[in-house]
């Protein structure tokens, strides 16, 4: 019997956020909706964030850390990176007192119907995993095949540059997106293979082992391949890319106890790696063609902030500069710059971006950068959808390609829904977070240009929200240690958001 326990007074519960309560050894989150209360698990199913530190906005509960969102009515999943709904608990309000049961309510399985179709998801990363999970969540009962060439189960790649390189996790401890049991229980066939050709005209794909499959529906989620440098000496040992667990393991195996690392490129991954390798005790040089990092995404003021932060932690910038070669006898020992400077190097990480992984496609027009043009519903051809890093899709009225891990998951869920007959367009807010010398920074939106920036808080204290504004509307947000505020903004930015309204939100958070 699920006994109800008195845990709170209705009058003490706020409606803009949850309240965590304890019943025996269980923490439960209470959410007030008018005179009613909902009770859910207290931690996000994605990474365990305390949902009481998140926000309630526009009918959703938003996770503070990674902005997963859940419906207030029933805890169902609205937005990743969580891939599960919230557990629900029985709750009643009696004469102003809130009573909750300590045992979760049974989970209702999705209704599935017999289906003779074969759906194939090519790419077993964030987007592909989200797509397969969503297809089952939305009731698809037919055969479902997830193809990926990397061994093991899909995992969180973002952990590699953030946690693995700095020694907090081993490469094989990068968090799985789904355990092997999930794929078995959901009848998702996992195939470790490489697709060598896919033709949307015949709806056929060929594998490296010679096998041919004919699909009824397909989601392309192969992501991107890191760009290497085509310069003399690029074949030397000790020069690394970072995309997979194996890449991270190779870098860690190559790290000296003391020495110098050179990062080529001041990208987010490049500077996360710089931060991680400083924590490992290495001297770190960063070579970049841009004078300041992240100017395109955030502007000069914030770009200077990140450069100053890294320099205060011992990172040395060489910018604007260009790498023209690597030198050494079998093992890299120096990085040669265009002006003749030679930087000593025991290990080199090249972080100069990715190229869409689309070389296997036939009879499908590609954009100039090798990505796949799709319509607002992410459709590339009849029965074929492309998502994540390899898709150029309409966003804010312009063809856009966004290399965000969470957006790839959003795309995966959207493609799954549309593959099942819906016609929904992407209408969410891009989000990513980045880690530098122990501080979390969050980025909302994808502004191409803006004419003003409004700062709430202090860059020096690393507690702030910076609003990027275009004609007095918020088009982007950069923040540090203001997670409840960004949880609210992540929802409000789904519609045009004025400067005044955003500042009102910030004042109340």
List CB contacts of 31: < 8 A, sequence separation 6 or more. Answer: 13, 18, 19, 37, 38, 39, 40, 56, 61, 72
The domain segmentation of the chain, as residue ranges, is 4-101, 118-225+355-419, 239-352, 447-507
Distance, in Å, from the CA atom of 37 to the CA atom of 32, rounded to the nearest integer, reads 4
Give the integer Cα–Cα distance in Å for 357 and 370: 8
Strands 217-220, 384-386: pairing kind: parallel
* Domain 239-352 class, CATH top level: alpha beta
pLDDT band at 376 (very low <50, low <70, confident <90, very high): very high
Cβ–Cβ contacts within 10 Å for residue 398, how many? 9
Beta bridge partners, 436, equal 439
Beta bridge partner(s), residue 56? 61
Q: Has residue 209 got a pLDDT over 70?
A: yes
CATH number of 118-225+355-419: 3.50.50.60
Q: Could you tell me the pLDDT band of residue 356, with boundaries at 50, 70 and 90?
A: very high
Q: Answer yes or no: is pLDDT of 397 > 70.
A: yes
Q: Give the mean pLDDT of 15-28.
A: 95
Average the pLDDT over 374-381 and give the result.
98
What kind and span of H or E run contains 134? helix 126-137
For 167-196, write each residue's pLDDT tens digit: 999 999 999 999 999 999 999 999 999 999
pLDDT (average), residues 427-439: 96
CATH 2.102.10.10 fits 4-101, yes or no: yes
User: Which residue reads 């004042």 in tokens?
Assistant: 507
> Which tens digit of pLDDT belongs to each residue from 249-308?
999 999 998 999 999 999 999 999 999 999 999 999 999 999 999 999 999 999 999 999
CA distance 450 to 448: 7
pLDDT of residue 1: 65
How large is the average pLDDT for residues 142-146?
Answer: 98
Per-residue pLDDT band at 111 (split at 50, 70, 90): confident
Confidence band (pLDDT; 50, 70, 90) for 115? very high
Cβ pair 459, 475 in contact under 8 A: no
Q: How would you list the strands of the sheet with 91-94, edge to edge?
A: 4-9, 97-101, 91-94
What is the tens place of the pLDDT at every residue in 151-170?
A: 889 999 999 999 999 999 99
Distance from C-alpha of 63 to C-alpha of 49, rounded to nearest angstrom: 7
The pLDDT tens digits for 446-481 are 999 999 999 999 999 999 999 999 999 999 999 999
pLDDT of residue 112: 81
> With contact defined as beta carbons under 8 Å apart, do 76 and 93 qualify?
no
Mean pLDDT of the chain: 96
224-226 and 283-287 as β-strands: parallel, antiparallel, unpaired? unpaired
pLDDT on residue 110? 74
pLDDT the model gives residue 6: 95
Quote the pTM value: 0.95
What does the pLDDT average to over 482-488?
97
Neighbouring residues of 231: CB distance < 8 A, sequence distance ≥ 6: 323, 324, 325, 326
**SS3 labels along 362-424:** CCCCCCCCCCEECCCCCEEECCEEECHHHEEEEECCEEECCCCHHHHHHHHHHHHHHHCCCCC
Residue 136 has pLDDT above 70, yes or no: yes
Structure tokens at 310: 């890294």
CA distance 466 to 456: 6
Q: What is the mean pLDDT of residues 399-409?
A: 96
Tens of pLDDT, residue by residue over 33-62, are: 999 999 999 999 999 999 999 999 999 999
> What is the Cα–Cα distance from 444 to 435, expressed in whole angstroms?
15
pLDDT, average across residues 418-429: 96
In this prediction, residue 114 carries a pLDDT of: 85
Q: What is the pLDDT of residue 199?
A: 98
At 20 the pLDDT is: 98
Fold match between domain 4-101 and domain 239-352 = no
């Amino acid at each position: 019997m699920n006994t109800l326990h008195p845990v709170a007074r209705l009058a003490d519960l706020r409606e803009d956020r949850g309240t965590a309560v304890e019943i025996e050894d269980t923490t439960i989150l209470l959410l007030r909706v008018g005179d009613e209360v909902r009770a859910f698990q207290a931690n996000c199913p994605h990474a365990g964030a305390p949902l009481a530190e998140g926000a309630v906005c526009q009918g959703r509960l938003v996770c503070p850390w990674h902005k997963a969102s859940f419906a207030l009515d029933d805890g169902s999943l609205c937005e990743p990176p969580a891939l599960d709904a919230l557990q629900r608990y029985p709750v009643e309000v009696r004469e102003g007192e809130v009573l909750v049961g300590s045992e979760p309510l049974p989970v209702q399985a999705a209704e599935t119907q017999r289906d003779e179709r074969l759906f194939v998801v090519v790419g077993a990363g964030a987007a592909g995993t989200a797509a397969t999970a969503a297809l089952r969540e939305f009731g698809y009962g037919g055969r479902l095949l997830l193809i990926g060439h990397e061994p093991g189960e899909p995992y969180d790649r973002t952990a590699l540059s953030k946690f693995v390189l700095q020694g907090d996790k081993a490469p094989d401890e990068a968090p799985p997106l789904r355990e092997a049991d999930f794929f078995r229980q959901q009848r998702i066939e996992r195939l470790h293979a490489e697709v060598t050709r896919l033709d949307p005209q015949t709806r056929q794909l060929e594998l490296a082992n010679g096998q041919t499959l004919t699909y009824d529906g397909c989601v392309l989620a192969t992501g991107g391949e890191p760009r290497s440098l085509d310069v003399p000496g690029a074949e030397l040992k000790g020069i690394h890319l970072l995309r997979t667990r194996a890449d991270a393991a190779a870098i860690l195996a190559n790290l000296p106890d003391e020495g110098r690392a050179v990062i080529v490129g001041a990208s987010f991954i490049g500077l996360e790696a710089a931060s991680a390798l400083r924590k490992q005790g290495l001297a770190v040089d960063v070579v970049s063609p841009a004078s300041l990092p992240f100017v395109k995404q955030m502007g000069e003021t914030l770009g200077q902030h990140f450069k100053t932060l890294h320099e205060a932690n011992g990172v040395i910038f060489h910018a604007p500069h260009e790498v023209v070669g690597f030198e050494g006898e079998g093992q890299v020992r120096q990085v040669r710059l265009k002006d003749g400077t030679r930087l000593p190097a025991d290990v080199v990480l090249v972080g100069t971006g990715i190229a869409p992984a689309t070389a296997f496609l036939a009879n499908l027009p590609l954009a100039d950068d090798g990505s796949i043009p799709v319509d607002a519903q992410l459709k590339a051809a009849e029965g074929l959808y492309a998502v994540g890093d390899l898709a150029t899709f309409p966003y804010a009225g312009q063809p856009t390609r966004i290399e965000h891990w969470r957006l790839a998951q959003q795309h995966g869920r959207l493609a799954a829904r549309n593959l099942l007959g819906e016609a929904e367009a992407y209408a969410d807010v891009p989000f990513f977070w980045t880690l530098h010398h122990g501080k979390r920074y969050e980025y909302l939106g994808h502004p191409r240009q803006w004419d003003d920036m409004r700062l709430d808080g202090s860059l020096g204290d690393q507690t702030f929200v910076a609003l990027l504004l275009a004609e007095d509307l918020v088009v982007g947000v950069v923040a540090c240690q203001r997670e409840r505020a960004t949880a609210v903004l992540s929802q409000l930015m789904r519609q045009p958001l004025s400067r005044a309204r955003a500042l009102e939100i910030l004042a109340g958070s």
